[in-house]
Structure formats: C-alpha cells, structure tokens
C-alpha cells in the first residue's frame, strides 16, 4: 500500500489506502474527482469511517487545537506568523454541493461553529453511507473536507487576529517516503 491512514503526505493524512499499482492509475482533474470519471477512480481507493475520522482529527482538529494553544504566545510577538500547510484538494471546486461551497466561501459569514458543524455532518454522513446522496466529495473525501475546513479556519483566524500574519499554502504534491 502506498497510502495508509497513519501515513501522511506534505499536507497531512489522506484518510485512504491505495495499492501502489492503482496509485499510478489515478488522475486528479476536476472531472476525475467530482465529475464523470469519479466513480471509476473511487474503486481504486479504500476509505473507512475510522480513516476519515483519523484524517479529520489530524488535518483539521490537530491544527485547530495546536493553534489555540499557541495563540497566547504568538500574540506577544511583534512579528507572529501562522502558516498552515493545505492542499489543492481543499479547493471549493471539488465540492459538488452548492450549499456547502457557498457556506465555505462566505468569508464574512464563516464561523468556527459553522465549520465544526460541517465536519461533524460529513462524518455522520460518511458513517451512514450518505456521501453521494448528500453530495460530498467522494474521492479522497475526508482529505478534501479536512483541507477545506482547515482553509476556512485559517480565514476565520486571520480575521480574528489581524496582528498575526495567518496564511494557508498549497505546496503541491510530492511523496514523503515516510
């Protein structure tokens, strides 16, 4: 396996398992992730609720809890910075549900509570096998949701703490040999 739930990449835990030969078959365009090719791509991946939960606990909640712990220290600095490592998978174009896309894209209306509700709703829908019905991303679904939630949280923090430079970056894909 090339991707185990405990392994990560440059931006976190993917929440999937895939055989190395199948990894080479994957394509990452919009049509491959949410469009006409998504169903055949999903067959190559193994995603479980436990993997999804682990992915969100690491990629979203882990960053959130660490940041909350460090903010009081960072506020004492004259040049504090937070740089969250995100992913292109966190882009809203990978969300087929327009309501979710609108909520995550509403910078002025975003709140931590809304992001938390979204993450919990996703996990509940995953557990109940409702990802397609509720129009969640279905390829690397937990990873996509975790990175979109992380991006939303980064925006919330940037507004909440204007004296701290807070950004998210998407460095691109590469294998880490972990």
Catalytic residues: 143
The full DSSP string for 35-86 is STTHHHHHTTEE--HHHHHHHHIIIIIIHHHHHHHHHHHHTT-SS-EEEEE-
Q: Is 144 helix (H, G, I), strand (E, B) or coil?
A: helix
Angle in degrees, CA 20, 22, 23, rounded to 5: 65
DSSP assignment of 96-136:
--HHHHHHHH-TTT--HHHHHHHHHHHHHHHHTT-TTTTT-
- For residue 8, the surrounding DSSP H or E stretch is strand 8-9
Q: In a 3-state reduction of DSSP, which class is residue 168?
A: strand
Contact 144, 55 (CB under 8 A): no
């Amino acid at each position: 396996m090339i991707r185990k739930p405990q392994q990560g990449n440059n931006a976190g835990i993917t929440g999937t398992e895939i055989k190395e030969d199948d990894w080479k078959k994957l394509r990452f365009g919009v049509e491959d992730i949410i469009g006409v090719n998504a169903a055949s791509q999903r067959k190559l991946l193994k995603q479980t609720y436990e993997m999804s939960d682990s992915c969100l606990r690491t990629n979203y909640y882990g960053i959130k809890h660490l940041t909350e712990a460090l903010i009081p220290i960072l506020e004492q600095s004259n040049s504090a910075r937070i740089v969250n490592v995100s992913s292109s998978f966190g882009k809203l174009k990978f969300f087929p549900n327009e309501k979710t896309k609108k909520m995550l894209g509403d910078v002025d209306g975003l709140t931590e509570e809304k992001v938390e509700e979204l993450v919990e709703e996703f996990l509940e829908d995953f557990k109940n096998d409702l990802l397609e019905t509720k129009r969640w991303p279905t390829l690397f679904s937990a990873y996509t949701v975790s990175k979109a939630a992380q991006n939303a949280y980064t925006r919330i923090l940037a507004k909440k703490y204007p004296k701290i430079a807070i950004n998210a970056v998407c460095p691109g894909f590469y294998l880490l040999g972990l």
